[in-house]
Structures are given as structure tokens and as C-alpha cells.
Structure 1
Amino acid sequence: MNLLFEIFVSLLIWAGAFFLFVGSLGLIRLPDIFTRMHATSKCDTLGSGLVLFAVILTIGYFAQITKLIFIIGFIWSINPVIAHLIAKIEYMRDTPLTPGSFIMNCYSSDRSCVVDTVKEGSDNVDA
């Protein structure tokens, strides 16, 4: 039973490390701010959650477990909010997009959503 528990905890740590690595790789490899922000926020939330959950399973003290649960809750609640805020600010600043990206403009005054695709050579292309 102890061996299965250790294997499960190590799988959680390796899975968390994998997601953190993929998020870092996405930050380096993806073309514009929106895709980079998406990759890092999603992978960071999942990866750190898995690693902290593995730590919770290995610690036997209630006070430390409570603190780690609060940290996980804080990460899971704040990362998506901050990612959305960054995306909205960059959208309002007309940050250049890569060709083939699409824009869903739902911030217009009449509240209608308009979908438009970024074309090659347009003003809104990342140089």
C-alpha cells in the first residue's frame, strides 16, 4: 500500500511538472500575447495545483494542509481572472495579432458580437 501511495504521489508531481514545462514552452514558442497568456495561465494553474495536491498528500499536519488548500484556492481563483484582465487590456490597446487569428468583438457599444479574421498584410498583424 505504501508503494502504491508513493507511485501515485510521484505521478502527481510528474504530471504537475509536465504541465508547468508545457506552459513555459508555450510562453517561448507561441506567436502573440493572447496565445502565450492562454498557455501559461492554464498550464500554470493545473501544474501548480497538481504539485501542491501531491504535497498535501505527503504532509500529515492539519495546519500545513489548511494553508496549502488556501494557496490552491487562491491560485485557482486568481489565475483565470488575471489572464482575462490581461487579455482585455491588450485587446483594448489593439495589440497586433498573428495572421489567421480571429477577433470576437463583444465590447462594442451596441453589445453585438462581431467575428472577424485577421488577414495577411492587414494593420493588425504581428510584425
Structure 2
Amino acid sequence: MIDVLSILLIAAGLVFFAAGTAGLLRFPDVYTRLHALTKADNLGLGLVVLGLLIRADALAPMFKLVLVWALVLVAGAAACHLVAQRAWTRLDGEDRS
């Protein structure tokens, strides 16, 4: 039963990764692309980590998985902010509406 649940969670995470990639390719502007990518990737990675957590046999690998997920969340938010800020400053001479 644990194997099936783990596979389902990991597969759901991969579906969210694919949806984020599709959003990155299909949405019209940088802000909607960033929104789709960061939301889908954060949830996708969370589901993959959860699927792997229930398979972990010790506390150390569990801690490492959660730490990696937390670091990716922080790095993704920082990168998204930097890209959005750069896109905003490039619009200085253009109409922002």
C-alpha cells in the first residue's frame, strides 16, 4: 500500500511539473509564466518529496529531503523575484498597463 501511495504522489508531482512547463511555454507574458512555473514547481516538488518521505527508512534522509525542498522554495522565490524585477525595470520607457 505504501508503494502505491508513493508512486501516486510522485506521479502527481510529475504532472504538476509538466503543467508548469506547459504554462511557461504557452502563457503570453513574463509575469503569468513566472506564476505558473513557480506555483506548479513548488507543488510538484512537494508531492515528489512527500512520495519519497513515506519511503525513507531513517530520519536523516527525511530531514535532507525536507531541507532540499525548503531550499528550492527559497531559491525559486528569489529567482522569480529577480526575473520579475528585471522585467519591470525594462519597461521604464514603455506603458506598464
Taking structure 2 as the reference length, the TM-score comes to: 0.84
Cα shift at 1:62: 2.1
Q: Unaligned 5+ residue runs, structure 1? A: 96-102, 104-116, 118-127
Deviations 1:44-92 (A, max 9, x none): 1110111012111101022222211110111122212221221111101
Residue of structure 2 in register with 1:86 after alignment:
83
Q: Residues of 2 paired with 1:34 and 1:73: CA distance?
A: 23
Give the count of matched residue pairs.
Answer: 94
RMSD: 1.7
Answering whether residue 28 of structure 2 is matched by residue 18 of structure 1, we say no
Q: Report which of the two has the higher share of helix.
A: 2
Residue of structure 1 in register with 2:70 after alignment:
73
Structure 2 residue corresponding to 1:9, chosen from 6, 9, 18: 6
Structure 2 residue corresponding to 1:43, chosen from 40, 43, 47: 40
Matched to 2:27, the amino acid is L
Answering whether residue 53 of structure 2 is matched by residue 56 of structure 1, we say yes
Q: Residues of 2 paired with 1:86 and 1:38: CA distance?
A: 11
- The answer to which structure, 1 or 2, has the higher relative contact order (CA under 8 A, 6+ apart) is 2
Cα shift at 1:21: 0.4
Answering whether residue 33 of structure 2 is matched by residue 33 of structure 1, we say no
Q: Residues of 2 paired with 1:55 and 1:33: CA distance?
A: 32
Which of structure 1's runs of 4+ aligned residues deviate more than 6 A?
A: none
**Equivalent pairs: percent with the same residue?**
32
Cα shift at 1:8: 2.1
* Rg (Cα) greater in structure: 1
Q: Unaligned 5+ residue runs, structure 2? A: none
Q: Report which of the two has the higher share of strand.
A: 1
